[in-house]
Structure formats: structure tokens, C-alpha cells
């Protein structure tokens, strides 16, 4: 029972008709081409049509570090390190150039956004290009990898120790003083702010029913 996050409309005052039309297009594309269920932290292999590649198709293997966008413009970023060079590619889920998405390893991580892998040691982002798909038996559980990643020495691209990022998957080797100083920027009132609340449970159920009915046809 998984609904892809790009189906859920963002909070705003746009006409729901726009989202309905987009959902129809997304479902049509899904019927033509299977987009598997995947989360941030999965290792995917994407083959895209490329006029400049040999055999017109290029394959890229990487870990999904971020899923963004809503509707037809939904994107995901795959990261891998090839020949000591970190490469990240942002793919659009509904782009007709994508020919196949295979999930090589199903594995959720502790966070929703793995952008800190850019500042982590390269061993945490290297994945074998010719990796065999790891078979996943049960349809219910997706294992959570509670890996604590070790980072390169500071400076980092973002101050990941700050509480706004809420990262649980890093092993901070910073002194206690720095960790306490980072907590100065915490905003504990934000989680109780009622104006920022966006309850998607009912919307999700409606959309889930709609989408699953359409896909069964």
C-alpha cells in the first residue's frame, strides 16, 4: 500500500482540477512504463535513451539521495562515485527518455534526504555498477539501514549538525561544545505550529483509491 509522494498535491490555493488532470497523465505514463516503488536510500539502475551513447541507451547506477517535485515534474537524484569522481544525476520520473528503472537494493535509511553523503567519506557513496539485484522476499517490510555515516573533516557544504536538518544518520565526531552551540539554532516551537500543519492522510486515501482503480483497468 504505497502511494508515491508526487501524487500528493502541495498545500496551496490552486484548483484541484489541475492536480486531477496531472494525475490522469501520470497514471497513463505508469501504465505504459512501470515505475517501481522506491524510497530515499534505495540503489537504483536507470537506463535512459541517449542519442550520443553507444547503442543509444546509457545506464547509471546510484543511491537515491533525494526525491523532489510534485506531479509530472517529480525528480529524484542518484549519486555514485565512478573512478574517484562523485557524480550526481537528477532524473525526472515521468520523462519519456527513461527506458527502465530497476531497484537493485531495497533499503531505507534513517533520513529522508541524504544530501550529507556529499560531505561523507567516499566509501559510503560508492556502488558497483555491475551489481546484481538483491532479491526482496516479503512485500511488506523494507529494511531500515541504521548506518551512521562518518564525515570528512569540516567545512561541509551545509552545517549538518544543526537541528533544522534533523539528521539521524551521521556519526558526529565533533566536540561537545560544537554540538551544544549548534543547538542554539533549534526552533522547538516549529513542530507545534498549527498554521504549518498539513494533514495529508485523508487526501492520500482518496488519491490512493483513485490511482489504484485506474491502474487496475
Partner 1 sequence: SVTGACQAIQKLTRVRVVDNSALGNTPYHRPPKCIHVYNKNGIGKVGDKILLAIKGEKKKALIVGHKMPGPVMTPRFDSNNVVLIEDNGNPVGTRIKTPIPYILRRREGEFSKVLAIARNFV
Q: Does 50 bind partner 1 (CB under 8 A)?
A: yes
* 8-state DSSP, 216: H
Helix (H, G, I), strand (E, B) or coil at 120: strand
Window 109 to 128, contacts with partner 1 (CB under 8 A):
118
Q: Does 153 bind partner 1 (CB under 8 A)?
A: no
Place of cell 525528480: 75
Site string for partner 1, 171-210 (x = CB under 8 A): ----------------------------------------
- Choice from 14, 24, 53, 136 touching partner 1 (CB under 8 A): 53
- Choice from 86, 96, 133, 143 touching partner 1 (CB under 8 A): 86
Would you give the end-to-end CA distance of the chain in angstroms? Answer: 18
Closest C-alpha to 136, from 35, 64, 38, 33: 38
Whether the CB-CB separation of 65 and 113 falls below 8 Å is answered with: yes
- C-beta of 121: minimal distance to partner 1 in Å? 13
CA dihedral 101, 102, 105, 107 (to 10 degrees): 40
Window 3 to 42, contacts with partner 1 (CB under 8 A):
none
DSSP readout, 151-210? BPSSPPSS-TTSTTT---SB---S-HHHHHHHGGG--TTGGG-STT----HHHHHHHHHH
Cell of 45: 539502475
Using CB under 8 A, which of the segments 18-26, 76-84, 136-144, 171-179 binds partner 1?
A: 76-84
Strand partners, 48: 58, 98
Instruction: Round to whole Å and give the CA distance between 215 and 34.
Output: 11
Cell of 5: 509522494
Residue 108 or 118: the one with the smaller Cβ distance to partner 1 is 118
- Choice from 4, 47, 66, 75 touching partner 1 (CB under 8 A): 75
Q: Does 95 bind partner 1 (CB under 8 A)?
A: yes
Q: Does 99 bind partner 1 (CB under 8 A)?
A: no
Residue 91 or 124: the one with the smaller Cβ distance to partner 1 is 91
- Choice from 15, 17, 34, 52 touching partner 1 (CB under 8 A): 52
Using CB under 8 A, which of the segments 14-22, 32-40, 88-96, 166-174 binds partner 1?
A: 88-96
Q: Which residues of the shown chain bind partner 1 in the complex (CB under 8 A)?
A: 48, 50, 52-53, 58, 60, 75, 82-92, 95, 97, 118, 155, 157
Amino acid at each position: 500500500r504505497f502511494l508515491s509522494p508526487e501524487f500528493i498535491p502541495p498545500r496551496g490555493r490552486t484548483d484541484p482540477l489541475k492536480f486531477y488532470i496531472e494525475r490522469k497523465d501520470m497514471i497513463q505514463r505508469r501504465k505504459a512504463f512501470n515505475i517501481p516503488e522506491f524510497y530515499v536510500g534505495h540503489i537504483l539502475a536507470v537506463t535512459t535513451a541517449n542519442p550520443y551513447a553507444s547503442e543509444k541507451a546509457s545506464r547509471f547506477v546510484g543511491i537515491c539521495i533525494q526525491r523532489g517535485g510534485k506531479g509530472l515534474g517529480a525528480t529524484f537524484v542518484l549519486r555514485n562515485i565512478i573512478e574517484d569522481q562523485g557524480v550526481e544525476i537528477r532524473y525526472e520520473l515521468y520523462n519519456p527518455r527513461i527506458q527502465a528503472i530497476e531497484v537493485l537494493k531495497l533499503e531505507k535509511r534513517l533520513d529522508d534526504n541524504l544530501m550529507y553523503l556529499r560531505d561523507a567519506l567516499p566509501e559510503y557513496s560508492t556502488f558497483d555498477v555491475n551489481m546484481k539485484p538483491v532479491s526482496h522476499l516479503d512485500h511488506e517490510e523494507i529494511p531500515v539501514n541504521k548506518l551512521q555515516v562518518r564525515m570528512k573533516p569540516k567545512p561541509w557544504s551545509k552545517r549538518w549538525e544543526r537541528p533544522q536538518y534533523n539528521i539521524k544518520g551521521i556519526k558526529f565526531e565533533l566536540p561537545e561544545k560544537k554540538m551544544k552551540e549548534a543547538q542554539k539554532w533549534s526552533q522547538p516551537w516549529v513542530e507545534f505550529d498549527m498554521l504549518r500543519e498539513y494533514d495529508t492522510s485523508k487526501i492520500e486515501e482518496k488519491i490512493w483509491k483513485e490511482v489504484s482503480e485506474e491502474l487496475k483497468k
